[in-house]
Amino acid sequence: MKQPVGPTSNGKQVFVDLIHSQAAKHIAGHPQLIGHVAEALRQTTVKTAYLKFEYNLKRSIGYENVVPTAPAEKVVYAQTAHDGLYTRFTRKGNPSSTTYVSMALQQNEDGTYDLLDAWIGRIRPPRPGSDNETPASREYWANHAFLLDKQVLRPHTATETCPY
């Protein structure tokens, strides 16, 4: 079931599936995220069928949970409970305050948009192994990792050997 998020600056309505979308997972962990997305959408003109962007709200809205990693830093790769892709994690570092909200939108046949994903922080390349992996993905994720915090990891998937 889709819920309205709000209109864009050019009057396009945006909806989110709060059960099955990637955005739903992030909104569940950060309920204020939906308000930040709605605020950013009101300032954004959308014209293309697919749009991935970041918006600077010019005030602290939360913490970025992806941090740079040093070449010799100990990291672990693992799958989270509801994701078959391996994610790179570190225990070092501290989340940094951010003023950015990022999101991905997909246009529907009726001209409305679906909020596919949204998160607090800057745009980053897709993870290696994902359907939308880009040439920049592997380089970026070789030097960055998610902070290992309260994520639920799939049993027996943790490894220190890069799986991609």
> For 76-129, what is each residue's pLDDT tens digit?
999 998 888 999 999 998 999 999 999 999 999 999 999 999 999 999 999 999
Q: Give the separation between CA 121 and CA 62, rounded to whole angstroms.
A: 8
Query: Residue 42: what pLDDT?
Result: 98
Both structure tokens of 72: 């010799």
**DSSP character for 127?**
P
Distance, CA of 96 to CA of 134 (rounded, Å): 25
Q: Give strand pairing partners of 103.
A: 53, 118
Q: What band does 55 get if pLDDT is binned at 50, 70 and 90?
A: very high
> Can you give the pTM of this predicted structure?
0.90
